[in-house]
Amino acid sequence: MSNENNDLSGAISTFIETFGKLAQQQVDLISNGLKAAAQLAEPLSKTATDLVGNVVNTLGQVLQSITSAIAPKK
């Protein structure tokens, strides 16, 4: 009888240990995914910001050229 209790106790202990490892792996997986997404978002946001800035500068130059062409010369 004592041996059966030890076997059951060992099985439960192994099950809980395995469940804990699986839970930790899930947490690690989510954490690594969030880190990867953050590392990807940083250069994308910088590129998008640079692109918007360049578009605004180009539009400003176009408007300045149009204004210079329309304005009467002295």
14-63 pLDDT tens trace: 999 999 999 999 999 999 999 999 999 999 999 999 999 999 999 999 99
- Please, what's the b/e burial string for 6-28 (b: 16 or more CB within 10 A of its CB; e: otherwise)? eeeeeeeeeeeeeeeeeeeeeee
Looking at residue 1, what is its pLDDT? 47
**pTM for the full model?**
0.54
pLDDT at 72 > cutoff 50: yes
How large is the C-alpha radius of gyration of the chain? 32
Which comes out higher in pLDDT, residue 73 or 70?
70
